[in-house]
Structure 1
């Protein structure tokens, strides 16, 4: 998706949500006031669509564990089989007897209490229990990530698809910063004290420039 198409999709989905009287958080959480329960998974099953098995879910940490103005955040993924077979994980998932989703985390997107996106961030391997792959293998796919399809709310899917396409550069940057942190050997994959590895603000005023 090129920048012009992404801009048009972002504007159209935002306007359609406003016109419907059901804004982003109401659609994601599924109630009229957009109030969420801490640690609940919205929707209950991930939204999964498209050839890359692009998926998302939203949740909120407990109030004392959130940023000052954070309501919650989206976690965005692609399916592990979407990556080239020759790409090697930089943080493999440890063996487990439990079922594990075959996913690679792209980034997380913070949402404030007004329902607006504020920051992108990356997380350590244990946070999303994934196979953590090199930034370059993910950034190559950023222009192809498409959450649209039969699963989930169509306007939310449109909005997230457009936003990722518009924000390829900052997302690629924080993925590279994440890899640099890991390369310094200061972070262990299962260290519960190391959760967010890189982040950057999202400036809505310049989003469509």
Structure 2
């Protein structure tokens, strides 16, 4: 297991190093073809989808807020039955304005409007988030895949916590928990890629 995580850490760092040598980073590379960047707008338009694995993602930024380190986040999904089939949110990956990984988190269903799956069924899809796809950037696709592989244990914990939080949530107006706009982030974890890699001896 540690060797799998070590290899994922090496892949993620390699992608960052190659981008840095080109004067870029994960965020700049993701937004490279954007003429302007509006908060909540999906990048790239139409999302990224790997038809072989069913992995899908998009990035969007937040409105600027004082003291907020996170620039925006990648929403990561899997479509196990292909592009026309159901879509299931796995996790969101937050980065700062320099493309540095800062947190992983899960969201309520209304946030992404995905097809709901209970925790264990969602967790079973996690290994399928593995993109070997050139557009918009092979390095960003590999970096995201490596981050989810590196933090697979943590992502599983976040997904289970999502379900616990939703099961315990009482909406003041009696609305179903998964529709309650007052509940957006259901679980989160601050992360440091280099610290994790160093702990694995990478």
TM (norm. structure 1) is 0.81
TM superposition shift of 1:164: 0.6
Q: In terms of mean alpha carbon deviation, does 183-192 or 68-77 score higher?
A: 183-192
TM-aligned CA deviation for residue 38 of structure 1: 1.1
- Compared CA separation, residues 149 and 107, structure 1 to 2 (3 A): same
SS at match of 1:11: helix
Structure 2: give runs of 5+ residues left out of the alignment. 172-176
1:75–1:67 Cα change, 3 Å: farther
- 181, 185, 198: which one aligns with 1:196: 185
Distance change >3 Å, CA 109–CA 192, structure 1 → 2: same
Distance 1:193 1:18 in 2: 39
The structure 1 segments of at least 4 consecutive aligned residues displaced by more than 4 Å after TM superposition are none
TM-score (norm 2): 0.83
Contact 1:139/1:168 (8 A) holds in 2: no
Q: Does 1:107 align with 2:91?
A: yes
| Contact 2:80/2:125 (8 A) holds in 1 | no
Contact kept in structure 1, 2:54 and 2:128, CA below 8 Å: no
What is the CA distance between 1:50 and its match in structure 2?
Answer: 4.4
Task: Mark the CA change 1:145 to 1:17 in structure 2 (over 3 Å): closer, same or farther.
Answer: same
Unaligned runs of 5+ in 1: 83-99
Instruction: After TM superposition, give the deviation of residue 205 of structure 1 in Å.
Output: 3.6
1:71-86 to 2 correspondences below 5 Å: 71-81=71-81
Give the corresponding residue for 1:86.
none
Preserved contact between residue 25 and residue 98 of structure 2 (Cα < 8 Å): no
Aligned equivalents of 1:11, 1:28: Cα separation in 2? 17
SS in 1 for 2:27: helix
Which deviates the most, 168-177 or 4-13? 4-13
- Look up the match of 2:37: 36
Instruction: Verify: 1:182 aligned to 2:166, yes or no.
Output: yes
Q: Is the 8 A contact 1:48 1:151 kept in 2?
A: no
Q: 2:5 aligns with which of 3, 6, 13?
A: 3
Report the Cα distance in structure 1 between the residues aligned to 2:128 and 2:54, rounded to whole angstroms.
11
More displaced stretch, 122-131 vs 34-43: 34-43
Q: How many aligned residue pairs are there?
A: 190
Per-residue CA distance 1:28-77 (angstroms, 9 max, x = gap): 11169x9732122110111001433101100012224x971111111000
Q: In the alignment, which residue of structure 1 is the partner of 2:16?
A: 14
Task: Report the equivalent of 1:119.
Answer: 103
